[in-house]
Amino acid sequence: MTKKLMYGTHAIGEAAIQAGCTCYFGYPITPQNELPEYMSQRLPEVPGGVFIQAESELAAINMVLGASVAGARAMTSSSSPGISLKQEGISFLAGSELPAVIVNIMRGGPGLGNIAPAQSDYFQATRGGGHGDYRLVVFAPASVQEMADLTFHAFDVADEYRTPVMILGDGMLGQMMEPVVMPKPRKGKKAAEKDYILTGAKGRPARLVKSLILDTKDMEEHNWKLVRKFKRIEERETRWEGYMLDDAEMVVIAYGTAARIARGAINRLRREDSNLRVGMIRPITVSPFPVKAIRDAAQTIKDFFVFEMSTGQMVDDVRLALEGQGTIHFYGRPGGVVPSARELGRSIARRYYQAIRKRKQ
């Protein structure tokens, strides 16, 4: 297992190729341009590899739809404003039950915003984003290694459940370099036969892939089918990581870059003050959200500190998970600001001692 120092964006690209992705379609936008650039160089080396710089994000996501329905593993990537444009296509992918991997390297918003790392698109990513009654599977890596691992895994999840899957990163994860052990396809592992793809109706009945279902009863059943599918995903694919939870009196909940900063803050606090018992739950899938992990923690822990690089989006999911139990503290830095571990640590420590004082009263 050799390690290679890689950029986050390149790790995503290489992992996609290792996962058997042969098609990439995208439109340039900062801070993720290094990913299409990487793919433009790598895909021509891959048998059947297709790279197109599309005329827009709309075109790109629909090229993905076409490649996917033709049976290929396909992906696109963008950053916040471009992801907004892709939402129609993502909704069509979900409705037509077509696999695809979509990467969002988030930046500050709304509007054109800026190009600094942010977590401003959590609602959009986890609530479907496009129109209609569906859920997206969303992975939130927190390191370059995870960008590779989760991208590799995302293609399997997309195929297994016939669903679009999103990798939700941010400018910092995209730009930084870390050592990576690149996931490799298991030898002899054959991709499952896809019985819905379009190949020309030779020797079989014609196939139809669509999302238009005019009969309301049928549409209703289709909606419930998507719900059942997501339930299955929830049961089998939900991922999270616990950190220093054993003796914790307060749990920080953060994902992606924010979770890394939080981890730094927790390490610092624990080093400086042994009375400060803070742990962390880091959602790795933000959709499905690790509800059970948080509910379980709430059995013994009363204070939850949510940190996001936004004005507070995931905090809603924490609130829903806790169902009124415990107390939620929130610290947010939107707009592309990345706080230091020290700054965050101060906020955590303050809330921690306030909470303890309150409990004693």
Binding other proteins by CB under 8 A: which of 186, 187, 202, 360? 202
Q: Determine, following the binding rule CB under 8 A, whether residue 260 of this chain makes contact with other proteins.
A: yes
Q: Which of 198, 227, 320, 337 binds other proteins (CB under 8 A)?
A: 198
DSSP class of residue 136? -
The answer to whether residues 35 and 131 touch, using CB atoms and an 8 Å cutoff, is no
Nearest to other proteins of 188, 200 (CB atom)? 200
Which of 52, 328 has the CB closer to other proteins?
52
96-125 residues near other proteins, rule: CB under 8 A: 96, 114-116
User: Of 210 and 360, which has the nearer Cβ to other proteins?
Assistant: 210
Asked if 315 and 286 touch (Cβ cutoff 8 Å), the reply is no
Are 21 and 46 a contacting pair, CB within 8 Å? no
Is residue 139 a contact partner of residue 150, using CB atoms and an 8 Å limit? yes
Rule CB under 8 A: say whether 77 interacts with other proteins: no
| Residues composing the chain | 361
1 in contact with other proteins (CB under 8 A): no
Exposed, middle or buried by CB within 10 Å (0-12, 13-18, 19+), for 273? Answer: middle
Residue 148 φ then ψ, to 5°: -70, -50
Q: Distance between CA atoms of 246 and 255, rounded to whole angstroms?
A: 20
Structural element, H or E, at residue 73:
strand 73-78
Contact between 52 and other proteins per CB under 8 A:
yes
Binding mask 312-341 for other proteins (x = CB under 8 A): --------------------------x-xx
Q: How far apart are CA 61 and CA 98, in angstroms?
A: 12
Q: H or E stretch including 155?
A: helix 144-161
* Single residue of 68, 80, 104, 287 touching other proteins by CB under 8 A: 68
Are 104 and 64 in contact, with CB atoms under 8 Å apart? no
| Min dist. Cβ of residue 36 to other proteins (A) | 16
x/- binding map, residues 12-31, to other proteins, per CB under 8 A?
A: ----------xx-x----xx
Binding residues for other proteins restricted to 153-192, rule: CB under 8 A: 171-172, 175-179
Q: Are the beta carbons of 107 and 30 closer than 8 angstroms?
A: yes
100 forms bridges with which residues in the sheet?
Answer: 164
| Closest distance to other proteins from the beta carbon of 248 (Å) | 16
Where on the chain is the footprint of other proteins (CB under 8 A)?
A: 3, 5, 22-23, 25, 30-31, 48, 50, 52, 54-56, 58-60, 62-72, 74, 88-89, 92, 96, 114-116, 171-172, 175-179, 198-203, 206-212, 260-267, 338, 340-343
